[in-house]
Structure 1
Amino acid sequence: MPEISEELSRNLYKRKPGTREEVECAVCLCEIGEGEEIRQLRCDHLFHRVCLDRWLGYKRLTCPLCRGSLFPCTTITESGVRVEVLLFKFSSLISGDRETWWLR
């Protein structure tokens, strides 16, 4: 599986014109300044790129704020209906007992 940090969007922060809204990174609790490198998750939460990459380094695979999945949304079309594919990872204390489960 590729590194999840490679799949997340990476941009430079640009404040919305006409607003003085301050956006904070929920990992370091510091303000995100104009032109700083950020990552925006599919839940629309913003973080400093370095902070979120550090969060991922601790094997955390959810948004630090809402706990939504960091994995990109995967959809399939089945019988003309578009559905989201959810991937659950299961593991036990026995290393040979690891499985990947799909829920439809």
Structure 2
Amino acid sequence: CYICLLEYEEGDRMRISACNHEFHRTCIDKWLKEVHREDFKRTGISTLVTVGVRDIQGEGFLDQFSGLADSVFLDRPQPWLAIPSA
């Protein structure tokens, strides 16, 4: 894994980036969350934003967020595959 530098083991949950790099799912999710949280801190709106990382194409949206999300940022090369109206 390019983040934790550990070897992959059978049964590890993986994410593959658009550029075909492989990561442990927990490593890349934590890293992405922190990177985006820092972006919002730099712009002064971190208190207004909740940052999360989820594979909505593979896992869908959580019901607990239904009707609560004002915006969804899709870091995907083809966001319309995850949300048809994107």
TM-score exceeds 0.5: no
Q: Which has the larger radius of gyration?
A: 1
TM-score, length-scaled by structure 2: 0.43
TM-score, normalising length: structure 1: 0.36
Higher helix share: 2
